[in-house]
Amino acid sequence: VGNSLNASSVTGTIATADQYVGRFAPSPTGPLHFGSLVAAVASYLQARAHDGRWLVRIEDIDPPREQPGASDLILEALERYGFEWDGDVIYQSRNHAAHEAALQRLLEDGLAYPCGCSRRDLANAPRGPLGIIYPGTCRDGCVARETAIRLRTTDDPVAFVDGLQGAITQRLESESGDFVIRRRDGLIAYQLAVVVDDELQGITEVVRGIDIIDSTPRQIWLQRLLGFRTPGYLHIPVVTHPDGDKLSKLTGAPAIPLEDVRPVLIAALVALQQDPPTTLAQNTLDDIWGWARENWNLEPLQGLTAVRVDQIAGFGLTVTPQLQ
């Protein structure tokens, strides 16, 4: 008994070479709302279904967008809902040295360059679905004092097969142009930080909302230039208000309740197209997770891009916008 206990506690804390490692990576811009709960549940169940590890990483590298206390509220909500993460919570801001080292490498290798273009300079730049398509103004040098750093791109297709959404391809040079990896205000851009941290933490599969799928080719491009592995990707549908707008802080999505969490967790399973028995809400939180783990099924999520919150009926959930 002693031995087997030992063995299981070791595998619970140390990743082996081929072990599944997943993560939930919220930005502390506000408390968890129902849409982020759904993303957390999906990544958690996918990791547990693979006997993998599940990490929580607070993406706190954009102070202007952060809300004081949000990290603690997010972690408290995860605890109340019965999530059990492996190891300590990771704070992305503590990986600053690794982000800077990656940036320096890209600069030294000539793969990235300073860009002094202001928003005004780019006012007439072409726009596409990914935003401004950077026209390459500073590719061959720039004299500005305050600069962003951009990553060079080419038009070779960057393709991947999403586990739920199928094949995705972008030609970065024409769809986004060279993109920012360090902002003019000195902050490391999300695209670079997420790639460095996923590599550092040995993430084998990323499960997250489809609202970020358009960033994935840029992240894969960064992984290639930095010599990192590309994890698998599953982009789950976003949860929207009845009018089709994504639930978010901006659209007034309320925080998920911290009391009486079971119906809300079940509603998250329904949003993920799982088919919990109606009696499940009478069970304990542990039982609900047990059912969810045993019955986790990606099939009904294939190709699904959005779930309207008003279509998740019958579990006492109300998610009404509360614009402040």
- Provide, rounded to whole angstroms, the least separation between the CB of residue 164 and ligand GLU: 15
CA-wise closest residue to 234 among 265, 255, 203, 264: 203
Query: Residue 115 corresponds to which tokens in the numbers above?
Result: 């860009």
Residue from 117, 158, 172, 194 that binds ligand GLU (CB under 6 A)?
Answer: 194
Beta carbon of residue 206, minimum distance to ligand GLU (angstroms, whole number): 6
The C-alpha atoms of residue 324 and residue 126 are separated, in whole angstroms, by: 34
| Of 14-22, 24-32, 131-139, 269-277: span binding ligand GLU (CB under 6 A) | 24-32
> Tokens standing for 124?
């007439």
Cα 34 to Cα 271: distance, rounded to the nearest angstrom: 10
Pick the stretch among 19-27, 132-140, 151-159, 163-171 that binds ligand GLU (CB under 6 A).
Answer: 19-27
* Interaction of residue 25 with ligand GLU, rule CB under 6 A: yes
Q: According to the binding rule CB under 6 A, does residue 187 interact with ligand GLU?
A: no
If the CB atoms of residues 193 and 288 are measured against ligand GLU, the closer one turns out to be: 193
Residue 269 binding ligand GLU, by CB under 6 A: no
Q: From CA 15, how far away is CA 201, in angstroms rounded?
A: 10
Does 249 participate in catalysis according to the annotation?
Answer: yes
Cα 40 to chain centroid distance, Å, stands at: 9
The site string for ligand GLU over 142-181 (x = CB under 6 A, - otherwise) reads ----------------------------------------
| Of 22-30, 126-134, 135-143, 250-258: span binding ligand GLU (CB under 6 A) | 22-30
Least distance (Å) from ligand GLU to the CB of residue 66?
11
26 lies in the site for ligand GLU, by CB under 6 A? yes
Among 150, 152, 208, 218, binds ligand GLU (CB under 6 A): 208
Would you count residue 212 as binding ligand GLU (CB under 6 A)? yes
Residue written as token pair 């506000």: 30
Using the minimum distance from each CB to ligand GLU, give the nearer residue, 76 or 121: 76
Q: Which of 78, 249, 261, 267 is catalytic?
A: 249
Place of tokens 């007439």: 124
Q: Which long-range contacts (CB under 8 A, 24 or more apart) does 268-271 make?
A: 268/34, 268/37, 268/38, 268/41, 269/41, 270/312, 270/314, 270/315, 271/34, 271/38, 271/237, 271/239, 271/307, 271/309, 271/312
Three-state secondary structure readout of 70-123: HHHHHHHHHHHCCCCCCCCCEEHHHHHHHHHHHHHHHHHCCCEEEECCCCCCCC
Decide if residue 21 touches ligand GLU (CB under 6 A).
no
The yes or no reply on residue 95 touching ligand GLU (CB under 6 A) is no
> Is 205 in contact with 45 (CB distance < 8 Å)?
no
For the window 42-81, what string marks contact with ligand GLU as x by the rule CB under 6 A?
-----------------x----------------------
Query: Is residue 191 near ligand GLU by the rule CB under 6 A?
Result: no
Contact criterion met (CB below 8 Å) for 229 and 223: yes
Does 236 participate in binding ligand GLU (rule CB under 6 A)?
Answer: no
DSSP string, 144-190: -SS-EEEE---SS-EEEEETTTEEEEE-HHHHT-SEEEE-TTSPBPH
Residue count, binding to ligand GLU (CB under 6 A): 7
What is the nearest approach in angstroms of ligand GLU to the Cβ of residue 25?
4
Give the residues lining the site for ligand GLU (CB under 6 A). Answer: 25-27, 59, 194, 208, 212
Which residues have a catalytic role annotated? 249
